Structure 1
Amino acid sequence: MLLTPQSQAPRSRRRKTAAALLASAVSVCLLAASAPVVPLGVGDRLFPYLGNPGYDVTSYDLSFAYPGSNSRPLRAVTTIKARTTADLDRVNLDFAHGTVDSVDVDGEPAGFSTAGEDLVITPQEAVPDGTSMRITVRHTSDPVSAKGRESGWVRTTDGLAMANQADAAHRVFPCNDHPSDKAMFTIRVTTPKGLTAVANGLPAGVARSDGSTTWTYRTHHPMATELAQVSIGRSTVLHRTGPHGLPVRDVVPTRDRKALEPWLRKTPAQIAWMERKLGRYPFETYGMLVADASTGFELETQTLSLFERELFTESAYPEWYVESIMVHELAHQWFGDSVSPRTWSDLWLNEGYATWYEALYAEVRGGKPMRDRMKAAYGASDGWRAVGGPPAAPKAPEPGRKTGIFRHNVYEGATLVLYALREEIGSAAFDRLQRAWVGRYQDGTASTADYVRLASEISGRDLSGFFKDWLYGEKTPPMPGHPDWKPQASAKPAAPAKQGAPAPGAAR
């Protein structure tokens, strides 16, 4: 749920005089129609202008028409259903890097302008607190990155895919682009004949006419905007069955189908391995989208994780390593997708746990002991904190760099925190904590403070001091049970690899 201002007494929908609204919980004011048009945000420490106060999105309906070239803008229509949580004379959406043709609010034409990376909409009548509203924006969606700003689209050799994390969804479609406001999605993609489109969720229809095909998909669980995925290309969709009948579908370049099959068929067993540790997989389907593109990362888009083709075709990567990266993205379906971060400073919970299971799988499949990996991480941790900040207080990214907060401190550095916690409270309590976390906050959002409270509850002791030191300290605290572990005093601070990926072919 989006943190929004407390409501005032209702006003008439026809009242358009300027009036101050109550300040939001993040100290952002909603402006009356006569005030200057400005970008708003929910006050995220790392991305202060992402998200918008005053409403909670319940659903997105996205329609894209692909022109047959990944160098030309797509025609698009975005319909947003939302419920207001304050009186709104204007509605701000996050949107940049596209041309807006028209905007309707509840079927009536609305005025619009831009401010920063916001699309600011002025409906004909103000929308009172507690009202359902429907916003329809007709626009373009440009896959070509603007100067200094990365698009959320990834151009592949034969089409497109999406990589919106952390702050690029609003460069693809108008939205409330913050993970604290999750919603249901319907995604429609029209492509020329010979191309295949796949998106998050399950298929909801295919319509063919006049040399084109429209593919429709719907999610069955709420999703953050940064996790949206659309694949367009000369692709083959492969189907298999996972645990308890779970539909598993993979999307691969048709020419690589045979070469990729040995990797793809590993997924059901990996899901079963994760379920033994965490409980039932949290979504309606899962699978891998293998894209012929160079991104420098893999990405946990909900129900359909994005992977670079070269991860599976480059012989330099050992089998255990590739499998552990597959498990990293699978683990994110629980940590980050089902349980989403309430703010981007809570990212350590996503990446720390995904890296935790990556490391456990590497131990099982590759004989790489978790203890050795954590000892090495401990030695480097002070350097990571110097470069990227403590795990739960990462330094802000460079403007326009969607990968800018994905540094070592929120990967191995965060996993080190989890290792210290297990040493502190014991394996049995640690295992109960993980299951309780993904169960209590399934399909929702949660914060670092929520995790600290739950860990204290499960362990039966106040862990606030432990977490304060490990999550926010400039220096890495002593490792419980390992007094011989020492920081590398002479080590230089480690720079982030590939602008946020901790290793070649790395996971995010």
Structure 2
Amino acid sequence: MTPQTTRSGRPRPAVPGRPSGWLPATALLLAMTTSCTGSAPAGGAAAAARPGTAGVGDRLFPALGNGGYDVVHYGLTLDYVPETNHLKGRAVITARATQGLSRFDLDLTGLRVRTATVQGAKAHVARRDDELVLTPAKAVRKGETFRTVVTYEGTPRTLQGDDGGLEGWIETDDGATALGQPTGSTTWFPGNHHPSDKATYDITVTVPKDEDGDPYDVVGNGTLIAEEDKGGAVVRHWRTEEPMASYLAHVSVGHFEIHKGWTDDDLPVYVAVDPDESEDAAGVVDAVKEVVDWAGDRFGPYPFSSTGAVVDHLPGLDYALETQTRPYFDEAPDEALLVHELAHQWFGDSVTPRTWKDMWLSEGLATYAEWLWEEDHGGRDTKEIFRDFYDGRDTESEGIWAFPPADPPGAGHVSDPPVYGRGAMVVHKVREAVGDEAFFDILRTWTRRHRHGNADTRQFVDLCEARSGKDLTGLFDTWLFTGKKPSRT
């Protein structure tokens, strides 16, 4: 993510491997359908079932996520009316039980639940604040793959996060956009909304044509696999076949200029631009291709099946977000901002922080990608940028010593400068300590080893030491885990 003021990502200045068990969504759905309709596993009696926990114990966001199951696929079918901002949804959630479940929770903010079934049978529904509590007619056995279907509707909410920024379902001047970091995805579909539970997605959206009879565009993550004009409405079906954290799930509804192309590596590019931003965003398509090709050389193969961007016109939002495969910008981005959000496709989207306090791994590495881009394109070298941050000369360096990057003091601080600028300084100190050959080997190993998965700070530290053969305890203690400004060494 990239804030312009207080949100996470790069603050704007004042001026080919796949994980074990990974399946494409189409194959996964076939396997899940077979499992869901077959007999339950023999292990574990129903009497051993117990409630799944509400929350997964994340220190910064204790209410997010839920225990007892792992989601493998979301099938979301949405009907949205821009004129009334009304949403109807049907969520088909395929998951594996990690314990016997007498009941379980889904995260859902607002919206009225109409029906809920588990394994085809009606489930009892209760609401507890932002928790949807489902009690199935029959307990789910440990290891069982089960399917939950929830139908719901209402006016989806726009939230104001702990850091003051807007998130959730946000109305625009010609439609709406859904932005999920850190909790906003709970406003438009029920699920297990913690970064540690990634899943594949199918998102199908139906939108009536506007008052002039013109169709709306619907832009989402992944690949557009079907589009249909039904006379009075349009339907768009987007598929994400690589696992995705829910805060990266995205839908934008509006009128866009659609630009399509290919990178030098034959990766499809899909860029949607609001007409009000058309002139300022004229170079975005070519810039996306250039940045993705450059980043692939630096960080390893691009981890997804498509790339692109959404350039909207949403004055006052003041941040960008690394929505998977198609980063969202509230206006035409500058070069550094585009680099930051596209670098997140490796650092944050493919390799996703295991907990919210690990967010420096996403933001610090994406910020350092900006430094590398500047160094490779005739600007300051990374040593000079580091010095400018250390001495407070860089416009983005204010506040970087407030707390240790790997230990934000609260939920409202995951978007603060230490996570970004100081996180990038940690990365640079590693580069200095191990040398360029080992450093870039570390980055490529990181993106390969944890591709489409989750990783945490301890794993990064261990990797840096293993690949370099050096004891880096002092470096990380000084630059990553200590709050005060270190002496420059």
Give the TM-score range, shorter chain: 0.7 to 0.9
Please state if 1:273 is matched with 2:294.
Answer: yes
Partners of 2:90 and 2:474 lie apart in 1 by 49
Q: CA deviation at 1:343?
A: 0.6
Kindly indicate whether the alpha-carbon contact (under 8 Å) linking 2:110 and 2:187 is maintained by their aligned counterparts in 1: yes
SS at match of 1:152: strand
Please state if 1:173 is matched with 2:182.
Answer: no
Kindly indicate whether the alpha-carbon contact (under 8 Å) linking 1:97 and 1:146 is maintained by their aligned counterparts in 2: no
Deviations 1:133-162 (A, max 9, x none): 111111125344268885512222111112
Q: CA deviation at 1:20?
A: 8.1
- Counterpart position of 1:261: 282
Kindly indicate whether the alpha-carbon contact (under 8 Å) linking 1:76 and 1:141 is maintained by their aligned counterparts in 2: no
Distance verdict in 2 for CA 1:212–1:382, change over 3 Å = closer
Residue 360 of structure 2 aligns with an amino acid whose one-letter code is W
SS at match of 1:250: strand
Distance verdict in 2 for CA 1:144–1:117, change over 3 Å = closer
SS at match of 2:283: helix
Higher relative contact order (CA 8 A, sep 6+): 2
Distance verdict in 2 for CA 1:9–1:44, change over 3 Å = same
Partners of 2:42 and 2:484 lie apart in 1 by 45
SS at match of 2:224: strand
- Counterpart position of 2:414: 405
Q: CA deviation at 1:475?
A: 1.8
- Counterpart position of 1:114: 127
- Counterpart position of 1:98: 111
Please state if 1:300 is matched with 2:312.
Answer: no
Residue 55 of structure 2 aligns with an amino acid whose one-letter code is G
- Counterpart position of 2:399: 384
Q: CA deviation at 1:360?
A: 2.2
- Counterpart position of 1:319: none
Share of identical aligned residues, percent?
36
Pick aligned residue for 1:345 from 312, 333, 357:
357
Partners of 2:149 and 2:401 lie apart in 1 by 45
Distance verdict in 2 for CA 1:458–1:93, change over 3 Å = same
Larger deviation: 432-441 or 204-213?
A: 204-213
- Counterpart position of 1:429: 438
Deviations 1:57-103 (A, max 9, x none): 0000111111132x523111111000000010101111112111111
Please state if 1:442 is matched with 2:444.
Answer: no
Partners of 1:428 and 1:124 lie apart in 2 by 58
- Counterpart position of 2:44: 10
- Counterpart position of 1:503: none
Kindly indicate whether the alpha-carbon contact (under 8 Å) linking 1:384 and 1:413 is maintained by their aligned counterparts in 2: no
Partners of 2:219 and 2:295 lie apart in 1 by 25
Partners of 1:73 and 1:280 lie apart in 2 by 40
Q: CA deviation at 1:262?
A: 2.3
Residue 130 of structure 2 aligns with an amino acid whose one-letter code is E
Q: CA deviation at 1:210?
A: 4.0
- TM-score, normalisation: structure 1: 0.81
Distance verdict in 2 for CA 1:308–1:126, change over 3 Å = same
Deviations 1:190-219 (A, max 9, x none): 011210111101112123324111110111
Q: CA deviation at 1:386?
A: 5.6
Partners of 1:185 and 1:99 lie apart in 2 by 22
Q: CA deviation at 1:369?
A: 3.5
SS at match of 1:287: strand
Kindly indicate whether the alpha-carbon contact (under 8 Å) linking 2:126 and 2:132 is maintained by their aligned counterparts in 1: yes
Deviations 1:228-280 (A, max 9, x none): 01111111221011121110010112454455222322221111111111222
Distance verdict in 2 for CA 1:377–1:151, change over 3 Å = closer
Distance verdict in 2 for CA 1:354–1:66, change over 3 Å = same
Partners of 2:442 and 2:415 lie apart in 1 by 25
Residue 70 of structure 2 aligns with an amino acid whose one-letter code is D
Kindly indicate whether the alpha-carbon contact (under 8 Å) linking 1:199 and 1:229 is maintained by their aligned counterparts in 2: yes
- Counterpart position of 1:506: none
Q: CA deviation at 1:116?
A: 2.9
Partners of 2:438 and 2:226 lie apart in 1 by 45
Pick aligned residue for 1:226 from 233, 247, 253:
247
Kindly indicate whether the alpha-carbon contact (under 8 Å) linking 2:277 and 2:312 is maintained by their aligned counterparts in 1: no
Kindly indicate whether the alpha-carbon contact (under 8 Å) linking 1:281 and 1:334 is maintained by their aligned counterparts in 2: yes
Alignment size in residue pairs: 438
Please state if 1:285 is matched with 2:306.
Answer: yes
The runs of 4+ residues in structure 1 deviating greater than 6 Å are none
Partners of 2:367 and 2:397 lie apart in 1 by 19
Larger deviation: 262-271 or 101-110?
A: 262-271
